[in-house]
Structure 1
Amino acid sequence: MSQVLPVLVERDDDLARLVERAARADALAVDVEANGLFAYRARLCTIQLAFREGDGIAVAVVDALRAPVAPLAPLLGAAGPPKVLHDLTFDARMLAEAGAPLAGARDTSVAARMLGCPATGLAALLLSELGVTIDKQLQQHDWGRRPLASRELRYLADDVLHLLALDARLAERGRALGIEDEIAEECAYKLATALGPPRDPRPAYARIKGAQALDPEGRAILRRLAAAREAAAEAADTPAFKIVGSEVLLELAQRRPARADDVRAVRGAAAGRAATCVAAWLRAIEQGRSDGDVPEEERALFLQVRPPRRELAARRAMETRITGWRRAEAKARKVDEQVVLPGHCAQELVEIALAAGNAGDAAVAAAIARIPGLGARRLARYGGALAAL
C-alpha cells in the first residue's frame, strides 16, 4: 500500500481551494468509491483526485458525504483539464447522479484493451507497465463508514497516484502504433454510453435468468416477488441481492408454495435476512396468482419470436464476413482487432447490412457514417470496405 497520505477534503472552503489548484493542472486522475454493496441506494462516498503540481503529484480525497460535489462540476466537465480514469463507466454514472458529470475523459482500460494487453485491470496494468504493486484488499470495503482511517486514505490514494503515469505510458504506445485517434474515439463512446439510458430497459424481474420460460401466472408471481424483495431491501437499507438471490425468487415462482412450510422448503427463501420475509413471499405469490399475468404493456417482453432460418443464416454469414475482414485487416496493420472495428460497431454493421434490402449505396454509406463510436478516422479509412461487405 502507498505511503502517500492524501489530503482529506471535508469542508467547502478546502474544496474551493482544491478546485482552484487542480484547474491549473495539465491532466487530472479521477476515481470514486460508493457503498453499493452495503446500502439499498448506492451513495457516492469519496472522490479521489491526483494531478501534477510542481515536481510531484498532489493527491486529495473529497469526502462526498460531508462536502458538496457540485463545486467539482466545472473541474470534471468540459471546461476542466483532461480527465484520466480506469474503467470509467461506474465513476461517470455516480458523478453524473451527484451533479458533476464527466467530460473530456480518457480511460486507461480502453487504451490497454486496444493495445492488446493480456490483462486490463488496474493492478495488473500498473505492475506490467510501471512495475508498481497496489493493495486491493479493501476492494469491497464499506466506504460509507466514517471516519476514514489512514489505511483507508492510503488505499484510496493508490487508485489515482500512478494513473497519470500509466496514461502517459499507454498513450506513448498508442502513438507508436498510430492508433491514438481510435483510442480517443472509443473512450468518448464509452463515456457517452455510461451517461446514456440503460442498454436493457426491462424491469428487473424480467431480466432474471429463467423468467422467459415461465408461464403467464409464473411471471406475474415473479413480478410480485421481485417487488416484495425491493420493499424488504429498502426497509433494511441493504442491496436487494442480500435479502435473497434472484434464483430463489425464480424457484418460488416455479413452485408457487401456498404454506409457510413449503416456502421454507425452498433453499434460501427463509434464510438470513429472508427469515422475516416468508409472509411477504406468500402474499406476493397469492397476488401473482390473482393477477394471472403481468400488465399488458409488459407482456411483449416475454414474446420469443425466432427469426426465420433464412434470416439467421444471413446474419451468421454477415458476421463471418465482418469477423474475417476485421481479423485480416488487424493482422496486416499489426494492431488489435478492436482498433480496426470495435465489437459494438460490428454489431451495428450487421444490422445495417440485414436492413439494407434494396437501399442504394448512398443510404448504406450514410447509415455506416452514423454508427456510434465508429469515428471519422475509421470512416475515412474503411467506409468503402465496410459498405462492400
Structure 2
Amino acid sequence: MTIHSHEGDLPDGLDLGPVVAVDTETLGLSLVRDALCVVQLSAGDGDAHVVRLNRPTYDCPNLKALLADPKVEKLFHFARFDVAMCKRYLGVTIGPIFCTKIASKLVRTYTDRHGLKDLVKELVGVELNKQQQSSDWGADKLSEAQLAYAASDVLYLHAAKTRLVEMLTREGRLEMAQACFDFLPFRAELDLAGWAEADIFSHA
C-alpha cells in the first residue's frame, strides 16, 4: 500500500480508472458549521491519494473535474454527507454514485451494523482502526496516523462493493439500490436547503 499525500489538488494527468472510492474529512458533522478539509480517493489498486484542501479558496480543478465526471463512478460509504459537503464547498454535483451504506441497509437486513468498520470486517475480512476519526483535520500538516486513517476509509470500498452487488443481485434489489444512488444529489440538496431532518415523503 502506498499513500500519496497531495497539497491542494490532485496532480495533473492522474487517472484513477472508471470507479473511484471517495471519502471526506471535515471539522465536524454539521453541514452549515463545519468545513471540508480533506478528500481521499482510491482506484481500488491498494494505493490511496489524500488531498489536503486549500481553505477557504478550495482551488482544486483536477479534483472537481474528477468528482463531476459522468464517466467515472464515485464509490462512497454514506455518500449523503460527502456529496453535500462537496456540493457546498467545491460547488460540484457528484455523479454517478454507489453508496455502500445504502447498499448494506438494503441487503444486510440480518444486522443493524452498517458502519464502515463492521461492513469491511464482514465482507472484506479487514479490521479498520478508527482512532483518528475525531482528530483535527484542519491542521496545516496531516500526521502519518491521519494519512493512514484517511487511506483506510477508501482502500476497501471496491472489494465491499463487489460483495454488495452480488448480494443485491441475489435478492433482486440492485435496481432499487441504483434508484437510491441516483437520488443522492437531490437528497444532498435537500439537506443543504434545510430539510435534513424532515421526511418530506411522510403523510404528517
Query: TM-score, structure 1 length as denominator?
Result: 0.46
Distance 1:128 1:344 in 2: 34
Distance 2:178 2:125 in 1: 25
Extract unaligned runs of 5+ from structure 1: 203-342, 352-389
- Structure 1 stretches of at least 4 aligned residues deviating more than 6 Å after TM superposition: none
When residues 5 and 57 of structure 1 are mapped into structure 2, their CA distance, relative to the original with a 3 A threshold, is closer
Taking the TM superposition and a 5 Å limit, the aligned residue runs for 1:200-215 are: none
Distance 2:103 2:129 in 1: 23
Taking the TM superposition and a 5 Å limit, the aligned residue runs for 1:140-289 are: 140-196=134-190, 197-199=193-195
Distance 2:76 2:28 in 1: 20
Taking the TM superposition and a 5 Å limit, the aligned residue runs for 1:44-193 are: 44-52=36-44, 56-65=45-54, 68-97=59-88, 98-115=90-107, 116-118=109-111, 119-193=113-187
Distance 1:344 1:109 in 2: 21
Aligned residue for 1:17, secondary structure, equals: coil
Distance 1:35 1:9 in 2: 19
**1:205-246 CA distance string (max 9 Å, x none):** xxxxxxxxxxxxxxxxxxxxxxxxxxxxxxxxxxxxxxxxxx
Distance 2:13 2:183 in 1: 32
Which structure has more helix as a fraction of its residues? 1
Aligned residue for 2:134, secondary structure, equals: coil
Contact 2:68 2:95 in 1 (8 A): yes
Distance 1:47 1:174 in 2: 28
Distance 2:6 2:160 in 1: 25
Give the drift of 1:5.
4.3
Give the drift of 1:81.
0.8
Give the drift of 1:344.
7.2
Contact 1:5 1:154 in 2 (8 A): no
Contact 1:69 1:99 in 2 (8 A): no
Distance 1:68 1:102 in 2: 17
Distance 2:200 2:119 in 1: 24
**1:5-54 CA distance string (max 9 Å, x none):** 41011155x52233xx12xx12010000011379x9422111000004xx
Give the drift of 1:99.
2.1
Aligned residue for 1:15, secondary structure, equals: coil
Task: Give the number of equivalent residue pairs.
Answer: 196
Which residue of 23, 32, 42 maps to 1:31? Answer: 23
Residue 7 (structure 1) aligned with residue 1 (structure 2): no
Question: Could you say what the CA RMSD is over the residues aligned between the two structures, in angstroms?
Answer: 2.6
Q: Which has the larger radius of gyration?
A: 1
For 2:65, the aligned partner's letter is P
**What is the identity percentage for the equivalent residue pairs of Structure 1 and Structure 2?**
27
Aligned residue for 1:68, secondary structure, equals: coil
For 1:58, the aligned partner's letter is D
For 2:160, the aligned partner's letter is L
Distance 2:197 2:106 in 1: 29
Aligned residue for 1:16, secondary structure, equals: coil
Which structure has more strand as a fraction of its residues? 2
Aligned residue for 2:51, secondary structure, equals: strand
Contact 2:84 2:185 in 1 (8 A): no
Contact 2:22 2:75 in 1 (8 A): yes
Distance 2:171 2:151 in 1: 31
Give the drift of 1:176.
1.3
Of structures 1 and 2, the one scoring higher in RCO (CA 8 A, sep 6+) is 2
When residues 175 and 68 of structure 1 are mapped into structure 2, their CA distance, relative to the original with a 3 A threshold, is same
